[in-house]
Amino acid sequence: MYPCRACGKAFQVATDGLDEIRPLTADLTTELAVPPDVRYLAVWRFLAAVDVRETRSGSGAEPSQVWQGIRRLAAPEPPFLYVPAFVFSRAVVQQLGLALVQAQPRLDLHEGLPREAPPGLRTANENGAVSEEDWAPEAGFGTLSPVLLTQDDAEVVAHFVYLALESRSIPDLRSIDYDLALTGGDLLFLPAVYDVRQVRDSNWRLLLREFDGLVA
């Protein structure tokens, strides 16, 4: 997918051209100090309904109702399933996807891409011009992450995120018979900072109030 900073839209390749996607950007809601190198990470968000018919664990223990807890947390709204779209790393997709699903954050969203780098992130040359190379390079991209998953891709990966959630509550999960129904499909850009103090191995700290207590 190809985000366009000029128009604030994103485009994905279709058989007869490009399909337009209208992404949404989340505002910072963290109550902690905000570092200067804020990035915006691409994440797909789906309304999700799960029907678990049978779950078997190796120990035979009664499985916990994981999704029921997520539904109660999200109430009165339906729960969302989140799929990170900026990376292919299994650990990052699993850890950030699970964190967002379990937190069900209340996002302040506006249409379009973040148009400017946060203050202090860019530097100007002697002519006053600012280049992309001056934007926080250590995570491999600038202020705006790439979008590596189309919506169809993300709908497939959503099963991985959901099964990771189930296996986290049932470490000896042997089998599960379920249906996962996804509706909607919003491409979000969430504010984050690359923080090596982060508890999760992904090292990304989301700049949302629901994640303020997760810094080691």
**pLDDT tens for residues 101-114?**
999 999 999 998 88
pLDDT reading at 133 higher than 60: no
The pLDDT value given to residue 140: 60
pLDDT reading at 160 higher than 90: yes
pLDDT reading at 47 higher than 80: yes
In whole angstroms, give the CA distance from residue 74 to residue 106. 9
Angle at 106 between CA 104 and CA 109, to 5 degrees: 125
In whole angstroms, give the CA distance from residue 139 to residue 172. 34
pLDDT reading at 70 higher than 70: yes
pLDDT reading at 83 higher than 70: yes
Beta strands (DSSP E) in 72-144 are 80-84, 109-111
The pLDDT value given to residue 200: 64
Sheet holding 17-21, edge to edge: 2-4, 9-14, 17-21
Residue range 153-180: average pLDDT?
87
Residues facing residue 21 across a β-bridge: 10
pLDDT above 90 coverage of the chain, percent = 38
3-state helix, strand, coil in the chain (%, to 5): 20, 35, 45
The pLDDT value given to residue 120: 41
The pLDDT value given to residue 130: 37
The pLDDT value given to residue 132: 38
Residues facing residue 57 across a β-bridge: 173
The pLDDT value given to residue 5: 77
- Which DSSP helix (H) or strand (E) runs through 73? helix 66-74
Give the orientation angle of helix 66-74 with respect to helix 151-169, to 10 degrees: 110
- Which DSSP helix (H) or strand (E) runs through 96? helix 90-103
- The predicted model scores a pTM of 0.83
The pLDDT value given to residue 121: 41
pLDDT in tens, 170-210: 777 788 888 999 999 999 999 999 877 766 667 888 999 99
The pLDDT value given to residue 177: 84
pLDDT reading at 96 higher than 90: yes
In whole angstroms, give the CA distance from residue 173 to residue 186. 31
| 85 phi/psi in degrees, rounded to 5 | -120, 5
In whole angstroms, give the CA distance from residue 103 to residue 74. 9
The pLDDT value given to residue 51: 87
Pairing of strands 24-26, 109-111: antiparallel
> Which position has the token pair 């990966």?
157
Residue ranges per structural domain of the chain: 2-119+133-211
Instruction: Note the residue count of the chain.
Output: 216
pLDDT reading at 72 higher than 60: yes
Helices (H) and strands (E) in the chain, counts: 3, 9
